[in-house]
Amino acid sequence: MADSSNPCRRIFLALSWSALAAILGFQVEPALSQVLEGGSARTRPEAAQRLGGGPIRPPQFHEMAQGQSPNSLFITCSDSRLIPSLITRSGIGEVFVIRNAGNIVPPYDLRPEGVTATIEYAVAVLEVPKIIVCGHTQCGAMKAALDPTGLDTVPNVANWIKFVEPARLAVDELHPSLGPKERWLELVRQNVRQQLTNLKTHPWVAARTATGRLRLEGWVYWLENRRVVHLSLP
Ligand SMILES: [Zn+2]
C-alpha cells in the first residue's frame, strides 16, 4: 500500500524525469526545443520538448497494469540509435510505437499486415489524438532506396524498400541537382511526407483526421545533434 509518509517514497516522487533518467543511465534530450526546418533554425519551445505535455509522473506500475491510454502513436525507424521515449521525452504508457526499417507505412490494404493492424488498434481502440512519423538522418533504409545494389540477396528488404520509391522519384523530380549527401537527406524528409500520405489511406486515420480528432505530424531526428525537425506538410 502507498505510504506518502515514507521518506524514500517522497524522495522518489520528487525526482524530476531528468534526475530519474540520470539515475537510470539515460541521456535526456537537452535541445529538443531547438527546432530546425529545411536547414534554417527557428525556435518552437514547446513543440518537441515534451510530447504529452505536463510533467512526467514517476511510474505507478500497479495503476499502469490496468490499461493504457497513450497520447500518441509514434512511427519511427528500427535503427538502434533511436530511442523513442528519449526523442519524445515520454514516460511509461505515454507513447504507442511502431518501428520498422525506414519508418514505412504501407498504403491501406485488407491483407493481414502488422503496421496496418497496429495503426488501426491505436486509432480505433486506443483513440490516440496524434500520429507522428519520424525519420532520421543517416538512415540505412533511405540509402538502400537510393542505391539498391546488393539487395537481391535480401528480397524481403528489397520489397519493403519499394514503399520508398514514390519519395525517391519526388526527390529526383523536385531536386534534380543535389549531391549525394543532400539527396540522401532530402529523401529522409520526402519519405516522411510520403508515409504520412500513405497513412491517410487508412480508413480510421482518414475518418478521425477529417473530424479533427486526430492530428498528423512529420519529424526528422538528427543523430548528429539530437535535434528534432518538424516538417511542413502538404
Ligand atoms: Zn533508419
Centre of ligand 1 from the C-alpha of residue 138, in Å: 7
Instruction: Kindly report the number of other CB atoms within 10 A of residue 145's CB atom.
Output: 23
pLDDT of 234: 65
CB-CB contact of 191 with 135 (8 Å):
yes
Residue 167 C-alpha cell reads as: 519519395
Would you place residue 190 in the very low, low, confident or very high pLDDT band (cuts 50, 70, 90)?
A: very high
Centre of ligand 1 from the C-alpha of residue 82, in Å: 9
Centre of ligand 1 from the C-alpha of residue 143, in Å: 9
Would you place residue 9 in the very low, low, confident or very high pLDDT band (cuts 50, 70, 90)?
A: very low
Would you place residue 35 in the very low, low, confident or very high pLDDT band (cuts 50, 70, 90)?
A: very low
Could you state, in order of their start, the residue ranges of all structural domains in the chain?
Answer: 15-20+27-230
Centre of ligand 1 from the C-alpha of residue 141, in Å: 5
Tell which residue, 126, 75, 69, has the closest CA to residue 93: 69
Span 96-119, average pLDDT: 95
Class of residue 208 by CB neighbours under 10 A (exposed 0-12, middle 13-18, buried 19+): buried
Centre of ligand 1 from the C-alpha of residue 137, in Å: 8
Residue 77 C-alpha cell reads as: 525507424
Q: Is 90 exceeded by the pLDDT of residue 54? A: no
Q: Which residue has the higher pLDDT, 4 or 216?
A: 216
pLDDT of 116: 96
What Cα–Cα distance (Å) separates residue 53 from each residue in 94, 214, 232? 10, 17, 22
Would you place residue 48 in the very low, low, confident or very high pLDDT band (cuts 50, 70, 90)?
A: low
pLDDT of 6: 53
Centre of ligand 1 from the C-alpha of residue 126, in Å: 27
pLDDT of 140: 97
Q: Is 90 exceeded by the pLDDT of residue 56? A: no
pLDDT of 51: 74
Q: Is 70 exceeded by the pLDDT of residue 126? A: yes
Q: What CATH number labels 15-20+27-230?
A: 3.40.1050.10
Residues with CB under 5 A from ligand 1 (ion): 77, 79, 139, 141
Tell which residue, 22, 24, 23, 44, has the closest CA to residue 35: 44
- Amino acid at the residue 105: V
Q: Which residue has the higher pLDDT, 58 or 28?
A: 58
pLDDT in tens, 105-116: 999 998 888 999
Centre of ligand 1 from the C-alpha of residue 102, in Å: 5
